Amino acid sequence: MAFDRSFIGPGSLANLVPALWRQQVEDWPRLREALDGLRKVRTRSFRLGLSTVVVQYNPGREASSAAKVDAASLAARPCFLCKDNLPKSQCGIVYRKDWLILCNPAPIFEPHFTISSMTHQPQSVQVAAPVMLDLARDLDGHYTIFYNGPSSGASAPDHLHLQAAPVALLPHEKELVRNICCGRTAESPGWIDWVHCEPVRIGVSRPGHRSAIFLMSRSRDELLSALEWVLEVLAEVRPARPEPMLNLFVGYADNCWTVWLYPRAAHRPSFYGLGPDEFLISPGAVDVAGLLILPRGTDFERINEEIITRVYEEVLMSPGDLLRVRFKLAHSERVGGNGVRRSC
């Protein structure tokens, strides 16, 4: 069934998307009220080693943070991403026939989009990755595209979806851009340990920095092949079903894609909960990228560096496991599509 409330307008996708946001803010009261709330959110900044973490008090995200994602709960509720269940006032842009670009009704950013599969199917990084590369390019690099794994922050793991936000709003994304753009020397190598340079540049964060893996290439096919290889390595080091636990980001600039992912160890920290001594923190992609979302005011007031550090230590891959990943990436015999991999 075709989506019958699609947004039609002139120009490229990069022009259509902000036009959709403006139109939906004007015509959809729920989004307009949510945006008014977003403009009043409070933030606090913390310094963890070499990184900045911004905490955002956002009551509008409580439903997402508290979402029950077990199989029974998912089966018992109507899927809010299926097109037949969307609010009557919600419009979208049909993207490449199989996807629907929607305004997120509980935004973290202004604007904030959800890109939902037109068919009800579970989260899958292998299905999502090619679309993420295409979407980042089709949006002219103005937006960062991100994906939450089914056990890594997705509040609707049963329905395949991506999200998009304006580029360079996330603290860790800004740090990544500075690290890549600044000239590096042997004395000052930066916090990314690059283990391969061609045909895809692949790096792993150094000890003391949040566990992450980075890929860069001008070749879509080579990049997807390299990402598949990285996923295989993650599955060897820390097996999980239906896929390795992770959060994935894609950016595009100067005809080059930058992909970075955070390997995960847990869906939520051990102190997650609604109790007075617990924290309603359910980290997704934006949280591990340095924008920690807190929907409860009490949590926002009592959060500190120690709690934030514990969140990342518990939900992200351990430094020891990341070293194992780095070793396998640096020494594997696997090659890319052109048969050559050159170490840096």
Average pLDDT, the chain: 91
Query: Where exactly are the structural domains of the chain?
Result: 13-183+191-331
**CB 337: neighbour CB atoms within 10 A?**
13
Dihedral Cα 152, 158, 159, 164, nearest 10 deg: -10
Predicted pLDDT at 340: 44
β-pairing, 291-294 vs 51-57, is: parallel
The string of pLDDT tens digits covering residues 185-226 is 555 568 899 999 889 999 999 988 899 999 999 999 999 999
- Give dist(CA 56, CA 38) in Å, integer: 10
For the chain, list residues with pLDDT below 70. Answer: 1-11, 182-189, 333-344
Q: What is the pLDDT of residue 119?
A: 96
At residue 335, the pLDDT reads 47
pLDDT of residue 333: 59
The pLDDT of residue 75 is 86
Asked if residue 281 lies in contact with residue 65, where contact means CB atoms within 8 angstroms, the answer is yes
pLDDT of residue 42: 96
201 vs 191: CA distance, rounded Å: 15
Q: pTM of the entire structure?
A: 0.92
> How many other CB atoms sit within 10 Å of the CB of residue 188?
8
H-state helical runs in 215-318? 220-237, 285-288, 297-302, 305-315
Q: What is the CATH number of domain 13-183+191-331?
A: 3.30.428.70
Burial of 177 (0-12, 13-18, 19+ CB in 10 A): middle
